[in-house]
Amino acid sequence: MDRDFWHRKWASNEIGFHEGAANPLMLAHAGRLGLSAGSRVFVPLCGKSLDLHWLLSEGYRVAGAELSRIAVDQLFADLGLTPGVRQAGELLHYRAPDIDIFVGDIFCLDSELLGRVDAVYDRAAFVALPESMRTSYAAHVTHLAGRAPQLLICYQYDQALMNGPPFSIADEEVRQCYGQAYALTLLARSEVAGGFKGRFPAVEAVWLLQ
C-alpha cells in the first residue's frame, strides 16, 4: 500500500473503512487504558474517525497522524473547528484546542514534534498496512508513544479470501511486533456481524498493550 493508494481512496471518497459512529469495541474497552481528564491519546492513521470526536467529548486530548489532507480538512469541518495550520518539517501540523493532527507520512513524525502521549488507540491502522511495513510501524508507534499503553483492534479472517487492506493479523504477529516492548492482553474476540463485507466470517481481536 503506497501513499498514492490512500490518496486515491480519499480523492474518490472510497472510504468504506470510515464508521458512522464511534467504534463499539473502543467504547467497550477504552476504560482499560487508564485515562483521566486531560490525558492525551495518540491515534495513528486517524482518517476522519468519529472516535476522535468521542475522545474529545470525554475530556481527553487527541493527537493524530494522517496522510490525507482531505481527511483532516473533513475531520476539522465535522468537529466544527477551524484549525491553525503550520509547516512542521515534512508534515503539516493542524491544531485547535485539545487536538493536534500531523498530516503526512507517519514515519516523518518524531516524538519531539508529537509531544506527550498517555495512550495509543489503533483502529484500522496496523491492519491497514502490508506485512512488509507492520514491524517498522509497530516499532515507530511504540517509540513515538514512549511505550504508553495501547488499545489495538485487529481483524482476523482467511487472507486467501481477500487481499487487504484491512489485512488479517494472527495473534502471533501481534506478539512478535509488540511483545518485546509490552505485556499483551487479549481483551476480546468479537465476530464481525454479518461477516466481513457481508462475504465471509471475520473476527475482531482487541488487544491491550501495557
Q: Is 191 annotated as a binding residue?
A: no
Q: From residue 66 to residue 85, what is the string marking binding to ligand SAM with x (rule CB under 6 A)?
A: xxx--x--------------
* 17 versus 54: smaller Cβ distance to ligand SAM: 17
Number of residues that bind ligand SAM (CB under 6 A): 19
Q: Which is nearer to ligand SAM, 71 or 114 (CB)?
A: 71
For residues 16 and 90, give the distance between their C-alpha atoms in angstroms, rounded to a whole number: 28
**Beta carbon of residue 51, minimum distance to ligand SAM (angstroms, whole number):** 6
Binding region for ligand SAM (CB under 6 A) out of 85-93, 112-120, 124-132, 181-189: 124-132
The answer to whether 45 is a known ligand-binding residue is yes
Q: Is 88 in the site for ligand SAM (CB under 6 A)?
A: no
Query: Is 189 annotated as contributing to ligand binding?
Result: no
Q: Which residue from 55, 56, 65, 75 is in contact with ligand SAM, where contact means CB under 6 A?
A: 65
Q: Is 155 in the site for ligand SAM (CB under 6 A)?
A: no
Which residues contribute to the site for ligand SAM (CB under 6 A)?
A: 6, 17-18, 45-47, 49, 65-68, 71, 105-106, 123-125, 128, 165
